Structures are given as C-alpha cells and as structure tokens.
Amino acid sequence: MAANAQGTSSGPARVWSDVMETPTLTKQQIVFTVGSTVTIDAPADKVFAIIMSFDKYGEWNTWCPKFEFKDGERPEVGSTGTMHVNMEAQNRQYEIPAEILELEYEPQQYKLSWRGKLLPAWAGKAERVQIVTPVEGSNNQQSQLKQWESMSGFASYVFKHIMGIPKQLADSNALYSNDIKKHAEKLQGSISTSASV
C-alpha cells in the first residue's frame, strides 16, 4: 500500500454519515446522508475521467455497472439518464432515472452531482455529490474522492427507519469508492510501467 503526502497509507474507503448539503437540499431539509472518502494513488483528473466515462462503468463499477444517457449524449448539466444500481441487501438491481445537476472541471476540484428521480419530488429527493481533489503535497500523484448521497422528504423516513437504506447506502458507497480506487490505481500502474519501459 502506498503512502500519501502525509505519510499515511491510502487504504480502503472511510464511510461517514455527517449531514451534507447537495445542490438543492439544505441541511434543514435532509433526513440522512451517507458518504465515503478514499485516497487514490492516481491524479485527480484521471480519477474524474473514470467517473465521467459512464459507458465504461461495467469494467469496474460493481454498485452501478451501467449508467446510460439518451442517444449516447455526452453528459452535461440537465442531461438525464438511467442508472442500473445493484442493492446487495435486497438482492436486486434497480433502474433509477437521474438528472445531472452540477459538473465542474477545475484543476483543484472536479465535481459531479446528480438527482435520482425514482420518487416524485413531493415524496422525497435523493441527490449524490462526488468531488475529486488533488492530495496536497503529492505533486498530483494522489487524489481524494469524497462522495455522498443525501435524502429528504417523508419517504426518506421510511427508507431510514423501516427499510435500513442508510446501511445499504454505506455498503454501496464503500464498494463504489474502493472499486474506483482499485481501477484508477491499476490504470495508473500500467501507465507508470509502460512509461518506464
């Protein structure tokens, strides 16, 4: 396991549940948040390129192996698509319509946010945010992925207290973060190996 700029290892994802705002949800509206953070031994722009390569999710993404956009369009703010999400605890795959809310390509912060549209807005909202930043002092050889999903509305109380969705999302968040870490580091390793040959 590689050491990051602070001298600690870049181990598996850390799951957390601090309430986090999303593009349209304030802390006061949110019933629960589940997120994860992971350090990846690959540059931030490369990690974000993997996140944005929706057509290649099946190569590495166990939790969401497919995210399709209409007519193969390049995703941008306002684009809608369908996520195919595996919920292990329920042993089934869901098709969830989603809309891109934010998309930023800045060297110090790459950001993608979307809203799941499985429920009508009056019943509840689910929004996911993913931010990739370079690890300070790593000469852009490491990045941090911080991603979370926040839910609001009365349906989220059912999800939280009856269906146990926060635990399922925690498992899914960790799986996603660890999958992208493994894939990005594998790609980065093959780039480093071919460059040194």
What domains are there in the chain, each with its CATH number? Answer: 14-196 (3.30.530.20)
Query: Token pair for residue 87?
Result: 């919920």
Q: CA angle, 99 as apex, 104 and 129 as ends, to 5°? A: 50
Query: What are the φ and ψ backbone dihedral angles of 16, each rounded to 5 degrees?
Result: -145, 170
Determine the pLDDT at residue 114.
98
Mean pLDDT of 93-104: 95
Mean pLDDT of 155-167: 94
Asked whether residue 73 carries a pLDDT value surpassing 80, the answer given is no
Under 8 Å between Cβ of 146 and 35: yes
Determine the pLDDT at residue 193.
52
94 or 51: which carries more pLDDT confidence? 51
Asked whether residue 90 carries a pLDDT value surpassing 70, the answer given is no
- pTM here? 0.89
Closest by CA position to 13, among listed 31, 38, 35:
38
Q: Which of helix, strand or coil describes residue 6?
A: coil
Determine the pLDDT at residue 1.
38
Whose tokens are 């809310």? That residue is 101
Whose tokens are 């799986």? That residue is 175
Over residues 135-154, the pLDDT tens digits come to 999 998 999 999 999 999 99
Query: DSSP strand E in the chain: where?
Result: 14-16, 30-40, 66-69, 80-87, 92-106, 109-116, 125-134, 143-152
Determine the pLDDT at residue 70.
81
Determine the pLDDT at residue 27.
98
Asked whether residue 33 carries a pLDDT value surpassing 90, the answer given is yes
Percent of the residues in the chain that have a pLDDT greater than 70, as a whole number: 90
